[in-house]
Amino acid sequence: MVTQIMSDTDHDDAGTTAARGADGDVLRVTGLTVEYVTDGDPVRACADVTFTLRRGEILGVAGESGSGKSTLITALTRLQRPPAVTTAGSIVFQPRDGGAAVDLVTASPRALRALRWTSLSIVLQSAMDALNPVMRLGAQFADALRTHDRSLGNDAAWARAAELLATVGISGDRARSYPHELSGGMRQRASIALALACGPELVVMDEPTTAVDVVMQRQILAQVLRLRRTLGFAVVFVTHDLSLLLELADRIAIMYAGRIVELGTASELYDDPRHPYTRGLRDSFPPLRAPLRRLTGIPGTPPDLRRPPSGCPFHPRCAARFEGCDTHLPELVTKGGHAVACRLHDPTQRPQPAPGTSTGGAR
């Protein structure tokens, strides 16, 4: 049993890529920059964000409040609203059926509408944002289903709604309920089922379980993983809870001040975090079982993006900073699939060239 799960999550490339076409990537994001344009200086809440998402993969995005996680999520699904403006970059979506790739940044509203629900969908922190409070659950599902399959009759759509609710552990007869008649956890699971209703290839989730209990959280996430195994969708999962992502995600991107500062597998980030911020973040989560030691968190406070620090945005809080960190912006450099934007790990920037060592430490 365990080995089968391991192969599902860890060797996706080998298995699913072959089965689902030549291209193993569902999304390629390059240089994505999003600004909030208000009266004062624009706030650059996503700066030069670059990553790829593999088919069926769960990519976690972690970072503290205000680091740009929600901005990224809404930009990816093109659900952003003014004053947010995408000022640079591309988001290339590659459909599973081998159809032409679409750049979501330049796609027309009509093209985007055609992709929504069937190809990409979104789950938000508050299920109430996704569910219509004055419509029965089943009717909302039926609407979504029928926009994308006009041949589907009303009864068939309601029957399918009941099936979908059952996949998230809500009994089918609840399809007749209004959202307020369900508990918070049930509503959140219903909104996940709704996001999955039309078999999307990509689901983005912004703090989908932050408002629910840990027990309910575990149950919801177990369902998501189980459904992913059968349906094969990829997930971008945003949360501030790194400890949760370490268990859930295949790979994790760490955001700080609107930038991805590190990206790697869960075990790379846990066992060998390279960015001083990632290390600090990891050490902000006390263990549940491992021996306790005193942890210190990260001194200082997150930056104000209206006045971002010069150079490396983390330098005012960084214990490892060295000459030049306050003036030089480190680039995201990938080595063996593990990417980090810190001058300590950039051979051209390191204080003293240390020949033969792969990772430089502050000395």
Partner 1 sequence: MTATTVPAPSAPGAPAPDTPVLEAVDVTKHFEVRSAVGARSVVRAVEGATLALHRGRVVALVGESGSGKTTLARLLAGFYAPTSGEIALEGVTVRQRRGRVERGYHKDVQIVFQDPFGSLNPLHRVRHNLERPLKLHHGVRGRAELDRRVRELLERVALTPTEQFVDKFPHELSGGQRQRVVIARALAVEPKVLLGDEPISMLDVSIRLEMLNLLDRLRTEDGLALLYITHDIASARYLCDDIVVMYAGEMVEGGPKEQVIADPQHPYTRLLVESSPDPGRGARDRAALFDADADGLGEPPSLIDPPSGCRFHPRCPFAMDVCRTQAPPRTDLGDGRWARCWLHQKTQENE
Q: Which of 54, 78, 282, 315 binds partner 1 (CB under 8 A)?
A: 282
> What's the chain's length in residues?
363
Contact track, partner 1, 54-93, x by CB under 8 A: ----------xx----------------------------
Closest residue by Cα to residue 258 from 28, 30, 35: 35
**CA of residue 140 relative to chain centroid, distance:** 25
Q: How far is the CB of 298 from ligand ATP (least distance, A)?
A: 15
Which positions lie near ligand SF4, rule CB under 6 A? Answer: 275-276, 312, 314-315, 318, 320-321, 325, 330, 342-344
> For ligand SF4, which is the closer residue by CB, 141 or 314?
314
Stretch that binds ligand ATP, among 16-24, 68-76, 154-162, 345-353 (CB under 6 A): 68-76
Question: Which of residues 282 and 345 has its CB atom nearest to ligand ATP in the complex?
Answer: 282
126 binds, among ligand ATP, partner 1, ligand SF4, none (CB under 5 to 8 A by kind): none
Strand partners, 206: 238
Q: Per-residue contact track with ligand ATP, 41 to 60, x per CB under 6 A?
A: --x-x---------------
By CB under 8 A, residue 285 contacts partner 1: yes
Looking at the Cβ atoms of 298 and 332, the one nearer to partner 1 is 298
Is residue 209 close enough to count as binding Mg ion by CB under 5 A? no
Pairwise CA distance, residues 153 & 165, whole Å: 18
Q: Read off φ and ψ for residue 131, nearest 5 degrees.
A: -100, 145
List, as own/partner pairs, every contact residues 213-222 make where C-beta atoms lie below 8 angstroms and the sequence separation is at least 24, other chains included. Answer: 213/185, 216/185, 216/188, 217/244, 219/169, 219/185, 220/168, 220/185, 220/188, 220/189, 220/192, 221/248
In the complex, what is the shortest distance from the CB of residue 256 to ligand SF4, in angstroms, rounded to a whole number? Answer: 9
Separation between Cα atoms, residue 309 and residue 104, nearest integer Å: 31
Task: Pick one of ligand ATP, partner 1, ligand SF4, none as the site partner of residue 43 (Cβ within 5 to 8 A by kind).
Answer: ligand ATP
The one-letter code for the residue type at 142 is: A
Contact (CB, 8 A) for 153 and 235: no
Q: In angstroms, rounded to a whole number, what is the distance separating the alpha carbons of residues 331 and 69?
A: 19
What part of residues 262-281 is at the interface with partner 1 (CB under 8 A)? Answer: 267, 270, 280-281
Among 67, 70, 188, 278, binds Mg ion (CB under 5 A): 70
* H or E segment to which residue 44 belongs: strand 43-54
The tokens of 44 are what?
A: 């650059």
Query: Which lies closer to partner 1 via its Cβ, residue 99 or residue 286?
Result: 286
Alpha-carbon gap, residue 290 to 42, rounded angstroms? 44
- Nearer to partner 1 by Cβ, of 107 and 225: the residue is 225
Nearer to ligand SF4, 160 or 345 (CB): 345
List of residues contacting Mg ion (CB under 5 A): 70
